[in-house]
Amino acid sequence: MTIFQNVPLLAALFGILLAQFIKIPVTYFFTRKLDWTLMTSTGSMPSSHSAAVTSLTTAIAFEHGLDSTLFAVSAIFAVIVMFDATGIRYQAGQQAVIINQMRIDFQTFVEEAKGWQKKDEEQKIEELKTLLGHKPSEVFVGALLGIFISVIIYTVIL
């Protein structure tokens, strides 16, 4: 099948998988907790979005050149994705932190005011996802990872 010969696509997919996998030991290093759910979660170090788009863009540069229209489209796409990861998605995650705290505070108020029976914490609050986006450092490391992947593929493997 020709799709398996599409090196830019494969490089981008490998970038996503590698970045998601790297999140596990990085998080373990800082928290001493092994969390395999990071393989399918958003946020954290490094950004798999950045790794994917920079790997794709670098691979396109190798195949079509820096002066190609395809590279220009891919480069602008990469900038938009990384800007979104550090901007809108990161801010949405920060807002989720505040909203979750407000929900906890309201829950505490209601318990004290009406003497609600104690329930399991999981039954009380289903928290909003707070790791939606990335810090600039997470995007930068993800971008470097993506570039590194395509450079290795095109200079060492192919």
φ/ψ bin of 44: left (φ > 0), alpha (ψ from -120 to 50), beta (otherwise): left
**Residue 13 in contact with residue 51, Cβ under 8 Å?**
no
Residues 6+ apart with CB under 8 A from 108: none
pTM over 0.85: no
Q: Rounded distance, CA 126 to CA 104, Å? A: 10
Which amino acid, 84?
Answer: D
> Position 96: which residue type?
A
Q: Which one-letter amino acid corresponds to residue 75?
A: A
Q: Is 73 helix (H, G, I), strand (E, B) or coil?
A: helix
Q: What mean pLDDT is reported for the chain?
A: 81
CB 49 within 8 A of CB 142: yes
pLDDT tens per residue across span 94-128:
777 778 788 877 777 666 555 445 555 554 455 55
Summarize pLDDT for 50-73 with one digit per residue, the tens.
999 999 999 999 999 999 999 999
Alpha-carbon gap, residue 54 to 73, rounded angstroms:
12
Banded model confidence at residue 137, pLDDT cuts 50, 70, 90 = confident
Q: Where are the domains of the chain?
A: 2-87+135-157, 90-132
